[in-house]
Amino acid sequence: MTSSKSNSPTIRDVARKAGVSVATISRFLNNPSLVSADTAETVRSAMNALNYVPLVVARNLATHKTNALGLMLTEIQGDFFTPMLKGIESVASAENYDLLISTSRKTGSRIAPPLGKHNTDGIMVFLDSLSVEELKKLHESDLPIVLIHQTPPDSLSIPCVTIENKSASQRLVTHLIEVHHRRHIGFLRGPENNEDSYWREMGYQQALNNHHIPLSEGLIGIGCYDRSTARKSTTLMIEAHPEMDAIFCGDDESAIGVLIALRDAGKKVPEDISVVGFDDELLTPYLTPPLTTVRAPTEEVGKTAASKLIQLIRTGATDLLTLLPTQLVIRRSCGCTEAPVSLI
């Protein structure tokens, strides 16, 4: 016989059964050291007998916490998503936070935004899933926020965790120059305003500069992190610049389009032209030839973002910028001839 209408026992039922006050039950739940050993034992068995589970929403209302972390993204897709979420979930659950996921597509005209102070203790914002205005508004509401793969807009100082793009790109392009003696190296940009792409381009420029190779606008192609744009851009570039002997793709998806365009144009990779990418997507070892690229530590990004957010929630502060290291993955599309790698 419980006192509530629903079949779940409440803290009151446990208190009655244990012969103590609800305050004591609450203390036992939140800070067992506050109750005597005897009482603790009584409470424990009463809880077991009733199969009691505290109702989190009641606790949340009383404490003004939600114990939930939010993750905001534009779309659930792509190779990065699974490892990133895996990283986030692992630290969230280790720290006893629920994880709330939301996609920013349809922020239509609902009264409450999908994620905010009302249902979350803090949120992670992936790429530009939120407009600057929305971000500003949330930030001004004092909601703890951590940005992922995107630095904050001008005036806002919001912590950000992302990856090291420039130096890896520079090393990769340097590899093309020094090891494979490429001099006419193209670059395929990512979408407009994409920061990863920006820094990858900076690394590319730096490598060329260091080797006194002049930049050529004609060797910079438009990309969108997608295959078909890359394919078209590549076709145009090789027509205009037949001397091009390497292409650094802003990402692996583009690299796939590039490989196809080159095949169609009768160019051999890597004999005639080197192709390298960025991201190390799962399928890159299976491409023909296997793609030389840069591995981004995406799961680590997820973990770090969640950790920083929790730190921000708990202490009110955390590092403003965390740059996670990336790593060259040399396969064959650059011109190297490794022993065949086992894919298992």
Partner DNA sequence: CTGAAAGCGCTTACAG
- Report what 106 binds from DNA, a second copy, none; CB cut-off 5-8 Å by kind: a second copy
Minimum distance between the CB of residue 321 and a second copy, rounded to whole angstroms?
26
In degrees and rounded to multiples of 5, residue 147 shows phi and psi of: -90, 145
Whether the CB-CB separation of 310 and 319 falls below 8 Å is answered with no
- Interaction of residue 313 with DNA, rule CB under 7 A: no
Residue from 6, 109, 337, 342 in contact with DNA (CB under 7 A): 6
Among positions 112-141, residues that touch DNA (CB under 7 A) are none
Nearest Cα residue to 136 out of 117, 121, 156, 118: 156
Which residues are CB-contacts of 44 (< 8 A; sequence separation ≥ 6)? 28
Whether the CB-CB separation of 230 and 238 falls below 8 Å is answered with no
Among positions 41-60, residues that touch DNA (CB under 7 A) are 52, 54-55, 58-59
- Report what 215 binds from DNA, a second copy, none; CB cut-off 5-8 Å by kind: none
Say how many residues touch DNA, by CB under 7 A: 34
Give the amino acid at 175: H
- Interaction of residue 265 with DNA, rule CB under 7 A: no
Query: What are the structure tokens assigned to 64, written together?
Result: 């003004």
Binding region for DNA (CB under 7 A) out of 10-18, 107-115, 163-171, 251-259? 10-18
Burial class (CB in 10 A: 0-12, 13-18, 19+), 220: middle
Residue from 16, 27, 227, 331 in contact with DNA (CB under 7 A): 27
- Report what 309 binds from DNA, a second copy, none; CB cut-off 5-8 Å by kind: none
- Interaction of residue 21 with DNA, rule CB under 7 A: yes
- Interaction of residue 63 with DNA, rule CB under 7 A: yes
Distance in angstroms (rounded) separating the CA atoms of residues 87 and 181: 39
Query: What are the structure tokens assigned to 184, written together?
Result: 């006419």
- Report what 110 binds from DNA, a second copy, none; CB cut-off 5-8 Å by kind: a second copy
- Report what 181 binds from a second copy, DNA, none; CB cut-off 5-8 Å by kind: none
Minimum distance between the CB of residue 11 and DNA, rounded to whole angstroms?
3
- Report what 66 binds from DNA, a second copy, none; CB cut-off 5-8 Å by kind: a second copy
Query: What are the structure tokens assigned to 154, written together?
Result: 């001008």
In degrees and rounded to multiples of 5, residue 314 shows phi and psi of: -80, -40
CA distance readout (Å), 327 to 64, 167, 321: 43, 10, 19
Measured distance between the N- and C-terminal CA atoms of the chain, rounded to whole angstroms: 58
In degrees and rounded to multiples of 5, residue 73 shows phi and psi of: -145, 165
User: Residue 39 or 102: which CB sits closer to DNA?
Assistant: 39
Give the amino acid at 319: D
Query: What are the structure tokens assigned to 7, written together?
Result: 């079949």
The residue ranges that bind a second copy (CB under 8 A) are 6-8, 29, 53-58, 60-61, 64, 66, 68, 75-78, 81-82, 85-86, 89-90, 93-94, 96, 98-103, 105-106, 110-114, 116-119, 141-142, 227-228, 231, 256-257, 260, 282-283, 286-288, 342-344
Which residues make up the interface to DNA (CB under 7 A)?
Answer: 3-6, 8, 10-12, 19-27, 29-30, 33-36, 38-39, 52, 54-55, 58-59, 61-64
